[in-house]
Chains A and B, each alone.
Chain A
Protein backbone atom coordinates (compact mmCIF):
# COMPACT_ATOMS: atom_id res chain seq x y z
CA UNK A 1 0.00 0.00 0.00
CA UNK A 2 2.81 2.34 0.91
CA UNK A 3 4.67 1.36 -2.23
CA UNK A 4 1.62 2.19 -4.36
CA UNK A 5 1.36 5.63 -2.81
CA UNK A 6 5.01 6.31 -3.44
CA UNK A 7 4.69 5.17 -7.04
CA UNK A 8 1.85 7.61 -7.48
CA UNK A 9 3.99 10.41 -6.04
CA UNK A 10 6.85 9.48 -8.30
CA UNK A 11 4.43 9.52 -11.23
CA UNK A 12 3.48 13.04 -10.19
CA UNK A 13 7.11 14.04 -10.57
CA UNK A 14 7.10 12.85 -14.16
CA UNK A 15 5.04 15.76 -15.36
CA UNK A 16 5.42 18.41 -12.74
CA UNK A 17 9.05 18.44 -11.83
CA UNK A 18 7.92 18.32 -8.24
CA UNK A 19 4.94 20.65 -8.05
CA UNK A 20 1.25 19.87 -8.22
CA UNK A 21 0.10 18.80 -11.67
CA UNK A 22 -1.83 16.10 -13.47
CA UNK A 23 -0.38 12.79 -14.55
CA UNK A 24 -0.61 12.74 -18.34
CA UNK A 25 -0.42 9.96 -20.92
CA UNK A 26 2.71 11.43 -22.47
CA UNK A 27 4.53 11.95 -19.19
CA UNK A 28 4.84 15.65 -20.07
CA UNK A 29 3.19 18.57 -18.38
CA UNK A 30 0.29 20.06 -20.31
CA UNK A 31 1.73 23.54 -19.84
CA UNK A 32 5.01 22.61 -21.49
CA UNK A 33 3.29 20.93 -24.43
CA UNK A 34 1.06 23.99 -24.81
CA UNK A 35 4.06 26.33 -24.73
CA UNK A 36 5.88 24.41 -27.47
CA UNK A 37 2.71 24.29 -29.59
CA UNK A 38 2.35 28.05 -29.08
CA UNK A 39 5.98 28.64 -30.11
CA UNK A 40 5.43 26.47 -33.20
CA UNK A 41 2.48 28.67 -34.15
CA UNK A 42 4.58 31.79 -33.50
CA UNK A 43 6.96 30.57 -36.22
CA UNK A 44 4.08 31.04 -38.65
CA UNK A 45 3.36 34.56 -37.37
CA UNK A 46 6.96 35.78 -37.64
CA UNK A 47 7.39 33.86 -40.91
CA UNK A 48 4.54 35.91 -42.34
CA UNK A 49 6.03 39.19 -41.11
CA UNK A 50 9.54 38.43 -42.38
CA UNK A 51 8.20 37.22 -45.76
CA UNK A 52 6.14 40.39 -46.14
CA UNK A 53 9.22 42.48 -45.43
CA UNK A 54 11.29 40.54 -47.99
CA UNK A 55 8.55 41.00 -50.55
CA UNK A 56 8.18 44.74 -50.04
CA UNK A 57 11.63 46.02 -49.09
CA UNK A 58 12.79 46.73 -52.65
CA UNK A 59 9.43 47.87 -53.99
CA UNK A 60 9.40 51.31 -52.45
CA UNK A 61 9.03 54.09 -55.01
CA UNK A 62 10.62 56.62 -52.67
CA UNK A 63 13.25 56.62 -49.92
CA UNK A 64 14.61 56.19 -47.38
CA UNK A 65 15.88 52.70 -48.22
CA UNK A 66 17.35 50.17 -45.75
CA UNK A 67 20.89 51.22 -46.73
CA UNK A 68 20.07 54.84 -45.85
CA UNK A 69 18.91 54.22 -42.29
CA UNK A 70 20.37 51.00 -40.88
CA UNK A 71 23.07 51.43 -38.23
CA UNK A 72 24.75 48.02 -38.12
CA UNK A 73 27.15 48.64 -35.19
CA UNK A 74 24.27 49.83 -33.01
CA UNK A 75 22.00 46.91 -33.98
CA UNK A 76 24.90 44.49 -33.44
CA UNK A 77 25.22 45.77 -29.86
CA UNK A 78 21.46 45.27 -29.36
CA UNK A 79 21.72 41.73 -30.74
CA UNK A 80 24.56 41.03 -28.35
CA UNK A 81 22.40 42.13 -25.41
CA UNK A 82 19.56 39.83 -26.42
CA UNK A 83 21.99 36.95 -26.90
CA UNK A 84 23.48 37.64 -23.47
CA UNK A 85 19.97 37.67 -21.98
CA UNK A 86 19.43 34.11 -23.24
CA UNK A 87 22.46 33.06 -21.21
CA UNK A 88 21.25 34.82 -18.06
CA UNK A 89 17.80 33.26 -18.52
CA UNK A 90 19.17 29.75 -18.70
CA UNK A 91 21.35 30.46 -15.65
CA UNK A 92 18.20 31.58 -13.79
CA UNK A 93 16.57 28.25 -14.62
CA UNK A 94 19.67 26.39 -13.50
CA UNK A 95 19.62 28.35 -10.21
CA UNK A 96 16.01 27.54 -9.36
CA UNK A 97 16.53 23.89 -10.23
CA UNK A 98 19.34 23.87 -7.68
CA UNK A 99 17.15 25.70 -5.15
CA UNK A 100 19.40 28.78 -5.14
CA UNK A 101 16.80 31.56 -4.93
CA UNK A 102 19.36 34.35 -4.49
CA UNK A 103 21.06 33.43 -7.77
CA UNK A 104 17.66 33.06 -9.40
CA UNK A 105 16.78 36.65 -8.50
CA UNK A 106 20.10 37.96 -9.78
CA UNK A 107 19.77 36.22 -13.15
CA UNK A 108 16.09 37.07 -13.55
CA UNK A 109 16.85 40.73 -12.93
CA UNK A 110 19.84 40.59 -15.30
CA UNK A 111 17.65 39.07 -18.02
CA UNK A 112 14.92 41.67 -17.55
CA UNK A 113 17.53 44.47 -17.58
CA UNK A 114 19.11 43.20 -20.81
CA UNK A 115 15.65 42.87 -22.36
CA UNK A 116 14.85 46.42 -21.23
CA UNK A 117 18.08 47.69 -22.79
CA UNK A 118 17.17 45.97 -26.04
CA UNK A 119 13.76 47.66 -26.04
CA UNK A 120 15.38 51.02 -25.24
CA UNK A 121 17.69 50.50 -28.20
CA UNK A 122 14.74 49.69 -30.42
CA UNK A 123 12.88 52.83 -29.33
CA UNK A 124 16.03 54.87 -30.06
CA UNK A 125 16.35 53.20 -33.47
CA UNK A 126 12.71 53.87 -34.35
CA UNK A 127 13.07 57.50 -33.26
CA UNK A 128 16.22 58.03 -35.32
CA UNK A 129 14.58 56.41 -38.37
CA UNK A 130 11.61 58.72 -37.97
CA UNK A 131 13.93 61.74 -37.83
CA UNK A 132 15.55 60.54 -41.04
CA UNK A 133 12.15 60.56 -42.71
CA UNK A 134 11.07 56.92 -42.37
CA UNK A 135 7.68 56.32 -40.78
CA UNK A 136 5.04 53.59 -40.88
CA UNK A 137 3.38 55.25 -43.88
CA UNK A 138 6.41 56.60 -45.78
CA UNK A 139 6.89 53.63 -48.09
CA UNK A 140 6.54 49.85 -48.31
CA UNK A 141 9.92 49.32 -46.64
CA UNK A 142 8.89 51.49 -43.68
CA UNK A 143 5.51 49.81 -43.26
CA UNK A 144 6.84 46.24 -43.36
CA UNK A 145 9.92 47.06 -41.27
CA UNK A 146 8.08 48.82 -38.44
CA UNK A 147 5.31 46.18 -38.28
CA UNK A 148 7.80 43.30 -38.17
CA UNK A 149 10.25 44.76 -35.65
CA UNK A 150 7.36 46.32 -33.71
CA UNK A 151 5.75 42.90 -33.24
CA UNK A 152 9.08 41.54 -32.06
CA UNK A 153 9.49 44.46 -29.68
CA UNK A 154 6.04 43.81 -28.20
CA UNK A 155 7.03 40.18 -27.63
CA UNK A 156 10.23 41.27 -25.86
CA UNK A 157 8.27 43.75 -23.73
CA UNK A 158 5.82 41.02 -22.67
CA UNK A 159 8.80 38.81 -21.83
CA UNK A 160 10.30 41.54 -19.64
CA UNK A 161 6.98 41.91 -17.81
CA UNK A 162 6.85 38.14 -17.25
CA UNK A 163 10.42 38.18 -15.90
CA UNK A 164 9.66 41.06 -13.54
CA UNK A 165 6.56 39.18 -12.34
CA UNK A 166 8.72 36.15 -11.57
CA UNK A 167 11.19 38.39 -9.74
CA UNK A 168 8.37 39.86 -7.64
CA UNK A 169 7.05 36.37 -6.87
CA UNK A 170 10.50 35.28 -5.74
CA UNK A 171 10.76 38.31 -3.43
CA UNK A 172 7.44 37.31 -1.86
CA UNK A 173 8.69 33.78 -1.37
CA UNK A 174 6.22 32.31 -3.85
CA UNK A 175 8.79 31.01 -6.31
CA UNK A 176 10.62 28.03 -4.92
CA UNK A 177 12.29 25.03 -6.56
CA UNK A 178 8.87 23.32 -6.83
CA UNK A 179 7.88 26.06 -9.32
CA UNK A 180 10.91 25.53 -11.57
CA UNK A 181 8.68 24.73 -14.51
CA UNK A 182 7.18 28.25 -14.44
CA UNK A 183 10.68 29.67 -14.90
CA UNK A 184 11.37 27.07 -17.61
CA UNK A 185 8.25 28.05 -19.58
CA UNK A 186 9.07 31.76 -19.30
CA UNK A 187 12.58 30.88 -20.44
CA UNK A 188 11.24 29.05 -23.49
CA UNK A 189 9.30 32.15 -24.49
CA UNK A 190 12.32 34.36 -23.87
CA UNK A 191 14.67 32.16 -25.93
CA UNK A 192 12.10 32.16 -28.72
CA UNK A 193 12.17 35.96 -29.01
CA UNK A 194 15.95 35.63 -29.14
CA UNK A 195 15.91 33.15 -32.03
CA UNK A 196 13.43 35.33 -33.90
CA UNK A 197 15.88 38.20 -33.53
CA UNK A 198 18.73 35.97 -34.75
CA UNK A 199 16.77 35.51 -37.99
CA UNK A 200 15.70 39.17 -38.24
CA UNK A 201 19.23 40.47 -37.59
CA UNK A 202 20.72 38.34 -40.36
CA UNK A 203 17.96 38.42 -42.95
CA UNK A 204 16.90 42.05 -42.52
CA UNK A 205 20.01 43.89 -41.37
CA UNK A 206 23.06 41.96 -42.59
CA UNK A 207 21.96 40.48 -45.92
CA UNK A 208 21.58 43.36 -48.38
Chain B
Protein backbone atom coordinates (compact mmCIF):
# COMPACT_ATOMS: atom_id res chain seq x y z
CA UNK B 1 0.00 0.00 0.00
CA UNK B 2 2.85 2.32 0.87
CA UNK B 3 4.35 1.60 -2.53
CA UNK B 4 1.23 2.89 -4.28
CA UNK B 5 1.39 6.12 -2.32
CA UNK B 6 4.89 6.80 -3.61
CA UNK B 7 3.92 6.35 -7.26
CA UNK B 8 0.62 8.21 -7.23
CA UNK B 9 1.46 11.23 -5.11
CA UNK B 10 2.30 14.24 -7.23
CA UNK B 11 2.76 17.18 -4.87
CA UNK B 12 2.16 20.63 -6.28
CA UNK B 13 5.17 22.87 -5.80
CA UNK B 14 4.72 26.59 -6.12
CA UNK B 15 7.25 29.40 -6.04
CA UNK B 16 5.78 30.80 -2.85
CA UNK B 17 6.03 27.79 -0.61
CA UNK B 18 9.07 25.94 -1.95
CA UNK B 19 11.26 27.95 -4.28
CA UNK B 20 14.30 25.73 -3.79
CA UNK B 21 12.42 22.56 -4.58
CA UNK B 22 11.18 24.01 -7.83
CA UNK B 23 14.72 24.43 -9.10
CA UNK B 24 16.17 21.24 -7.68
CA UNK B 25 13.47 18.69 -6.99
CA UNK B 26 14.62 15.76 -4.93
CA UNK B 27 15.02 12.47 -6.68
CA UNK B 28 11.66 10.88 -7.16
CA UNK B 29 9.82 14.12 -6.60
CA UNK B 30 7.38 14.98 -9.33
CA UNK B 31 7.00 18.61 -10.28
CA UNK B 32 3.42 19.11 -11.37
CA UNK B 33 2.89 22.36 -13.24
CA UNK B 34 -0.66 23.68 -13.57
CA UNK B 35 -1.44 25.16 -16.97
CA UNK B 36 -4.46 27.32 -17.86
CA UNK B 37 -7.63 25.54 -18.97
CA UNK B 38 -8.89 25.64 -22.56
CA UNK B 39 -11.49 28.20 -21.56
CA UNK B 40 -8.78 30.43 -20.17
CA UNK B 41 -6.79 30.07 -23.41
CA UNK B 42 -9.81 31.34 -25.35
CA UNK B 43 -10.21 34.26 -22.94
CA UNK B 44 -6.54 35.15 -23.35
CA UNK B 45 -6.91 34.99 -27.12
CA UNK B 46 -9.90 37.36 -27.10
CA UNK B 47 -7.94 39.79 -24.91
CA UNK B 48 -5.02 39.65 -27.37
CA UNK B 49 -7.40 40.12 -30.28
CA UNK B 50 -8.96 43.16 -28.61
CA UNK B 51 -5.54 44.66 -27.90
CA UNK B 52 -4.52 44.14 -31.55
CA UNK B 53 -7.73 45.86 -32.66
CA UNK B 54 -6.93 48.82 -30.37
CA UNK B 55 -3.43 48.97 -31.86
CA UNK B 56 -4.77 49.18 -35.40
CA UNK B 57 -7.32 51.78 -34.25
CA UNK B 58 -4.54 53.87 -32.71
CA UNK B 59 -2.74 53.80 -36.06
CA UNK B 60 -5.69 55.43 -37.79
CA UNK B 61 -7.14 57.57 -35.00
CA UNK B 62 -4.59 59.67 -33.08
CA UNK B 63 -5.48 60.45 -29.49
CA UNK B 64 -6.62 64.10 -29.65
CA UNK B 65 -4.54 66.69 -27.84
CA UNK B 66 -1.60 64.45 -27.00
CA UNK B 67 1.04 62.71 -29.08
CA UNK B 68 1.12 59.47 -27.17
CA UNK B 69 0.16 57.04 -29.92
CA UNK B 70 3.64 55.61 -30.32
CA UNK B 71 4.06 55.14 -26.58
CA UNK B 72 0.63 53.51 -26.32
CA UNK B 73 1.43 51.19 -29.26
CA UNK B 74 4.70 50.21 -27.58
CA UNK B 75 3.01 49.47 -24.26
CA UNK B 76 0.31 47.38 -25.95
CA UNK B 77 2.92 45.38 -27.87
CA UNK B 78 4.84 44.70 -24.64
CA UNK B 79 1.57 43.61 -23.01
CA UNK B 80 0.84 41.17 -25.85
CA UNK B 81 4.41 39.87 -25.76
CA UNK B 82 4.27 39.21 -22.01
CA UNK B 83 0.85 37.54 -22.20
CA UNK B 84 1.87 35.15 -25.00
CA UNK B 85 5.16 34.25 -23.30
CA UNK B 86 3.57 33.93 -19.86
CA UNK B 87 0.39 32.03 -20.71
CA UNK B 88 0.70 30.40 -24.14
CA UNK B 89 4.37 29.47 -23.61
CA UNK B 90 3.65 28.73 -19.92
CA UNK B 91 6.71 30.63 -18.73
CA UNK B 92 4.64 32.08 -15.89
CA UNK B 93 4.05 28.56 -14.60
CA UNK B 94 7.28 26.83 -15.59
CA UNK B 95 10.55 26.46 -13.76
CA UNK B 96 12.47 29.66 -13.11
CA UNK B 97 15.59 28.25 -14.78
CA UNK B 98 13.73 28.37 -18.09
CA UNK B 99 12.56 31.91 -17.36
CA UNK B 100 16.12 33.01 -16.66
CA UNK B 101 17.40 31.45 -19.88
CA UNK B 102 14.90 33.33 -22.01
CA UNK B 103 14.99 36.60 -20.08
CA UNK B 104 18.80 36.65 -20.24
CA UNK B 105 18.71 36.52 -24.04
CA UNK B 106 15.91 39.06 -24.21
CA UNK B 107 17.49 41.57 -21.83
CA UNK B 108 20.87 41.16 -23.51
CA UNK B 109 19.28 41.84 -26.90
CA UNK B 110 17.35 44.90 -25.69
CA UNK B 111 20.38 46.38 -23.91
CA UNK B 112 22.82 45.64 -26.70
CA UNK B 113 20.70 47.01 -29.54
CA UNK B 114 19.41 49.99 -27.55
CA UNK B 115 23.00 51.06 -26.97
CA UNK B 116 23.70 50.49 -30.67
CA UNK B 117 20.71 52.57 -31.81
CA UNK B 118 21.44 55.36 -29.32
CA UNK B 119 25.05 55.44 -30.48
CA UNK B 120 23.89 55.78 -34.07
CA UNK B 121 21.58 58.63 -33.05
CA UNK B 122 18.38 56.95 -34.21
CA UNK B 123 16.29 58.33 -31.32
CA UNK B 124 18.08 61.66 -31.07
CA UNK B 125 18.28 63.32 -34.47
CA UNK B 126 15.20 63.97 -36.59
CA UNK B 127 15.29 61.76 -39.70
CA UNK B 128 15.87 64.65 -42.12
CA UNK B 129 18.85 65.88 -40.08
CA UNK B 130 20.69 62.57 -40.41
CA UNK B 131 23.16 62.13 -43.25
* CB-based contact A86/B84 at 8 Å: yes
Instruction: Name B25's closest neighbour in chain A (CB-CB).
Output: A27
The smallest beta-carbon distance between B23 and chain A, in angstroms, is 7
Contact, CB under 8 Å: A58 / B130: yes
Within B8-57, the residues touching A (CB, 8 Å) are 23-25, 27-31, 35, 38, 41-42, 44-45, 48-49, 52, 55-56
Q: List 22 A-B contacts (CB under 8 A).
A: A3-B3, A8-B28, A11-B30, A33-B97, A33-B101, A46-B109, A47-B109, A51-B117, A55-B117, A59-B131, A76-B56, A80-B52, A83-B48, A86-B45, A87-B42, A91-B38, A194-B84, A195-B80, A198-B81, A201-B77, A203-B77, A206-B55
Majority secondary structure of chain B interface residues (helix, strand, loop or mixed): helix
Which 6 residue pairs spanning A and B have beta carbons closest together? Answer: A40-B105, A47-B109, A58-B127, A7-B28, A202-B77, A27-B25
Footprint of A on B, CB under 8 Å? Answer: 2-3, 6-7, 23-25, 27-31, 35, 38, 41-42, 44-45, 48-49, 52, 55-56, 58-60, 70, 73-74, 76-77, 80-81, 84-85, 88-89, 95, 97-98, 101-106, 108-110, 112-113, 116-117, 120, 122, 127, 130-131
User: Given the complex of chains A and B, what is the CA–CA distance between A110 and B88 in angstroms?
Assistant: 16
| Interface residue tally on A, bucketed by range | 35 or more
- B103 CB to nearest A CB, Å: 8
Interface residues of A in 75-113 (CB under 8 A from B): 76, 79-80, 83-84, 86-87, 89-91, 94, 97
Q: What's the count of A-B pairs with C-beta under 8 Å?
A: 157
Is there contact, CB below 8 Å, between A33 and B98?
yes
In the complex, chain A residues 99-135 whose Cβ is within 8 Å of any chain B Cβ? none
Contacts of B48 in A (CB 8 A): 83
**Contacting pair B105 A55 (CB below 8 A):** no
* Other-chain contact of A3, B6, B70, B110, B116 (Cβ < 8 Å): B6
* Other-chain residue from B3, B30, B74, B127 in contact with A2 (beta carbon distance below 8 A): B3
CB interface residues, A 21-63, toward B, < 8 Å: 23, 25-28, 32-33, 36-37, 39-44, 46-48, 50-51, 54-55, 58-59
